[in-house]
Chain A
Amino acid sequence: MRRPTSLYRRLLTWLLLPLLGLGALMLVQAYLDARHTADRAFDRLLEAATLAIADRVQWQDDQLWLDLPPAALEMLATDAEERVFYALYDGDGNFITGNARLPGDERPDQGQGNRQEPLQGTLQDGARGDTLLYRDIEWHSLALRQGTRRSRLEDWSLQERFEVRVAHTREGREALTLSLLRGNLAYIAAMAALAIAALLLAIRSALAPLTRLRSAIRSRDPRALAPLELPLPRELAELRETVNDLLARMRRVRANQERFIGDASHQLRTPLAGLSTRAELALRQDDPIAWRGALEAMQTTSARTARLAGQLLSLTRLDNPEATPDLAPLDLNALARRATRDAWASCHRDGIDLGVEADEMPLMIDGVAWQLEEALTNLIDNARRYGAQHITVRVTDDPPTLAVDDDGPGIAKDQRLLVLRPFYRGRDGGEGSGLGLAIVDGIARGHKARLTLEPTANDTGLRVAVHFMGDRG
């Protein structure tokens, strides 16, 4: 079961996670910085101690001689009581004196000019042209920081090389690192607290317009379709405009419906009024022949009214966007022939030439047979009503198209969209209900097909065609 996602929580997560990552990075950086600073501070002690020792190295009795200054060792032991080690080596790496045989500096001996950074530790030039190396070493399982000074005797003739190596344990450095880090930690923690507080406030204020929009929508009259009017930031203004577009469309749809209902009631009222009048007239007479005439006329009118009601019903059904017809494969050619055959008798009686041009081969499409038959009947009926003498039903391939050509007066170009609206009678004088093309249009939309109205090939009359865009069955 997924919990509903929250914009607030999502924003918070995606802002906090990088913030925390950044904080962790800052901590690591602060630790490394503090360690580096502590090392730099304490390395000065190593430098001073090696210098103090190197100053006391002499040449005496044909050998290197050291009068070890105790202060040199004492300065290596701070309040943290570090362990201290020292050693003096000659230029060939022979141990002269010391309390520990500390490892040497593996760098090849080289001139001042081309020195290179060692892998670890720092290389410096001392005041006397000495080279200095600081590095961390592991000696008898003690972690030490070692300072090595390479120097040479400053004698009249002798230039004997020697190396002073001192080392001490890291307690003092660690204590300083910790105290530096503690200072930084307080700083980082304060920053983090401020950042998080700012973040919470920022998210809250950024999401506030959303709350306003919600309450604005909630507090509306459910029947009101007026556009939303409230100031919103750009991102939400787009949403507001979209909602307003939807509302506008709904307004149009409702206007259409209202007009349709008005038209429909008007259409039904007229024949009903006619029936009523006719019946009244007939009742005033006593002649059964007149009654018969009236009844016949009333039957015609009521039949037409019934058909009108039927058309209104099917139009309403077609307009319902939630009713999706069950499409089934069917042969368009057979359907065209069948509809033509059904209509042929009445056309023939009226002296209208109805023909069909359809292939023998089946042309399969997905559709609802009764709807397509109804559409075809409507189109043929329409053509007849508007005075066509020749009506041809055509089925063409690629894309599958069902067309009805007539040689009637046709429809002016600017009228062609309007005639699809219910109760609109583009052509004068007809006796149709004005629903036929609207129904055809509804059926075409139900089949995701395109309805076109255009003049026939020889530029007279009207061709109404339904182009099926979907896949062929």
Chain B
Amino acid sequence: MKLSDPLPGAGSRRLALILLKLSLLTLGLLLGAAPVWAEETLRFPGNATPSQPLERLTVHGALDIPQVRPLLEDFHQRFPFISLTYRNLTTLELNRRFLAAQTPSADVLISSAMPWQYRLANDGHAQPLTGARADAWPGWARWRHELFAVTFEPIVMVYRRELSERFGAPQSHAELLDLLEQHGEALRGRVVTYDPAKSGAGYSYAVEEARLSPRYWELVAALGATEAVLEETTGAMLKGLKEGKYWLGYNLLGSYAQNVVASDPALEMVIPKDYALVTQRLALIPQRARHPVTAQRFLDYLISEHGQRVIAERTALGAVHPALKGPGTANALKARLGNALRPIRLSPALLATLDDLKRRALLARWKREFRRWQVTDEGPSPSADEAGSPSYQSASVSEADDEANAARSGAP
């Protein structure tokens, strides 16, 4: 993953312009979000016992401290002899650090940027975890014993009471499309969703939904017709919803929305009944991990029934373990929604989402569909280049930002 890959075939002037835009954007984000981004670190000093020497473990995660803390506390309680350092990084920073360092300091990487984690493993950067638990881990949540999906987080819709009182609450994508087409005028500017051009998460969801059904493009066109507002993060969407600026939010990260909705009676959360995307955090042990044995112990804990129960009961992340059945587990969601759940598959298709040309082509189509029914004064719709200009890297920064915001607003 090189930031400096020149865009092939582009004129040098345009390239320079793009790079300038890119750097300005990145700089702006860096400056604006600096306090939130400040490296967050959680340390659990270990205590050696005569029978058990001290072990060290460094975990790099794109998973906010409030979400991960219960899990790490429980791990520390079970393995007090492990001196654990957890660093919360953005998905971009996590990936960049891993690829930059000659000897990675992290022993375990956990990230919600599924395509990137998949790419690291695909390129042979991960080492396999063996053992009964790894073997028993469901095949759809694991790749080659190298990549383990440890959480189960649906993508949801959030709406305000005002919406349900006036037009009824949409329970599925089809109902949402009907609602947008029938009451587009009334909902003008009151619907919010991800900007796929600026948010990596929003882009991944767009790729997946476009693959699932061609009707997705009708939905995009309908969103465009209601002049839906495009935000970069779940946090920003939730903020607008809480303030009453928006009545309906489409494609929010369920694990972050859950706590906010629970604390605000004006908000409701819906997991669409026809299909619901599910994103998962992927954990891997780098090939060059300094403490591979301890790292295996940690990952083995993450996929153990006990660790998963902590995830289910004390976090909003959603447990994957097939033996767990209560609320906050994949099984409970599956029992409720059946085949409608569409976990983003751990397959080489994830690599396609990272393809730069692919991204530009998809975003161009997205823009085109979004503006189909819009009455604009501005002349012809902008070209694909404009849509594609911010690279995926900066988009992923936004995604991480999203999580940070959500964490801030979702803290109990």
- Contact partners of A95 in chain B: CB under 8 A: 8
Chain B: which residue is nearest A142 at the CB level?
A: B124
Q: Which of A67, A69, A94, A98 has the most CB of B within 10 A?
A: A67
Q: What's the tally of chain A residues with a CB closer than 8 Å to chain B?
A: 32
- Contact partners of B356 in chain A: CB under 8 A: 97
Seen from chain B, the residues whose Cβ lies within 8 Å of a Cβ on chain A are 8-10, 119, 122-124, 143-144, 211, 347-349, 351-358, 361-362, 384-385
- Contact partners of B347 in chain A: CB under 8 A: 70, 73-74, 77
- Closest-CB distance, B118 to chain A (whole angstroms): 10
Question: Contact between B122 and A67 (Cβ–Cβ < 8 Å)?
Answer: no
Is A6 part of the contact surface with B, judged by Cβ < 8 Å? no
Which of B10, B143, B351, B362 makes the CB contact (< 8 A) with A73?
A: B351
Seen from chain A, the residues whose Cβ lies within 8 Å of a Cβ on chain B are 61-74, 76-77, 81, 83-86, 90, 94-100, 140-142
Chain A: which residue is nearest B356 at the CB level?
A: A97
16 examples of A-B residue contacts, CB within 8 angstroms: A66-B357, A67-B361, A68-B352, A68-B357, A73-B348, A73-B352, A83-B124, A85-B122, A86-B351, A96-B9, A97-B355, A97-B358, A98-B355, A99-B122, A140-B124, A142-B124
- Closest-CB distance, B153 to chain A (whole angstroms): 22
Question: Contact between A99 and B357 (Cβ–Cβ < 8 Å)?
Answer: no
Question: Contact between A62 and B352 (Cβ–Cβ < 8 Å)?
Answer: no
Question: Contact between A63 and B352 (Cβ–Cβ < 8 Å)?
Answer: no
Question: Contact between B122 and A63 (Cβ–Cβ < 8 Å)?
Answer: no
Question: Contact between B9 and A66 (Cβ–Cβ < 8 Å)?
Answer: no
Question: Contact between B351 and A99 (Cβ–Cβ < 8 Å)?
Answer: yes
- Contact partners of B353 in chain A: CB under 8 A: 70
Question: Contact between B348 and A62 (Cβ–Cβ < 8 Å)?
Answer: no
Which of A62, A64, A70, A100 makes the CB contact (< 8 A) with B349?
A: A70
A99, B352: Cα distance in complex, Å:
9
Q: Is the interface of B mostly helix, strand, loop or mixed?
A: helix
- Contact partners of A69 in chain B: CB under 8 A: 352
A62-B9, A97-B356, A99-B122 known; A84 vs B348 contact (CB < 8 Å): yes
Which of B348, B354, B385 makes the CB contact (< 8 A) with A61?
A: B385
Which of B122, B123, B144, B358 makes the CB contact (< 8 A) with A68?
A: B358
Question: Contact between B119 and A99 (Cβ–Cβ < 8 Å)?
Answer: yes
- Contact partners of A73 in chain B: CB under 8 A: 347-349, 351-352
- Closest-CB distance, B203 to chain A (whole angstroms): 14
Question: Contact between A64 and B348 (Cβ–Cβ < 8 Å)?
Answer: no
A81-B143, A140-B123, A140-B124 known; A61 vs B9 contact (CB < 8 Å): yes
- Contact partners of A74 in chain B: CB under 8 A: 347-349
A76, B348: Cα distance in complex, Å:
8
Chain B: which residue is nearest A73 at the CB level?
A: B348
Chain B: which residue is nearest A72 at the CB level?
A: B352
- Closest-CB distance, A394 to chain B (whole angstroms): 107
- Contact partners of A67 in chain B: CB under 8 A: 357-358, 361-362
A98, B5: Cα distance in complex, Å:
11
Question: Contact between A96 and B357 (Cβ–Cβ < 8 Å)?
Answer: yes
A67, B384: Cα distance in complex, Å:
13
- Contact partners of A96 in chain B: CB under 8 A: 8-9, 357
- Contact partners of A86 in chain B: CB under 8 A: 351
- Closest-CB distance, B182 to chain A (whole angstroms): 33
Chain A: which residue is nearest B11 at the CB level?
A: A62
- Contact partners of B122 in chain A: CB under 8 A: 83-85, 99
Chain A: which residue is nearest B361 at the CB level?
A: A67
A61, B211: Cα distance in complex, Å:
25
Question: Contact between A81 and B119 (Cβ–Cβ < 8 Å)?
Answer: no
- Contact partners of A98 in chain B: CB under 8 A: 355
- Contact partners of A83 in chain B: CB under 8 A: 122-124
- Contact partners of B9 in chain A: CB under 8 A: 61-64, 96
Chain B: which residue is nearest A80 at the CB level?
A: B144
- Contact partners of B355 in chain A: CB under 8 A: 66, 68, 97-99
A83-B123, A140-B124 known; A66 vs B349 contact (CB < 8 Å): no
A142, B351: Cα distance in complex, Å:
18
A66, B358: Cα distance in complex, Å:
7
- Contact partners of A85 in chain B: CB under 8 A: 122
A144, B347: Cα distance in complex, Å:
18
A83, B351: Cα distance in complex, Å:
11
Chain A: which residue is nearest B146 at the CB level?
A: A81
A227, B123: Cα distance in complex, Å:
87
A141, B354: Cα distance in complex, Å:
23
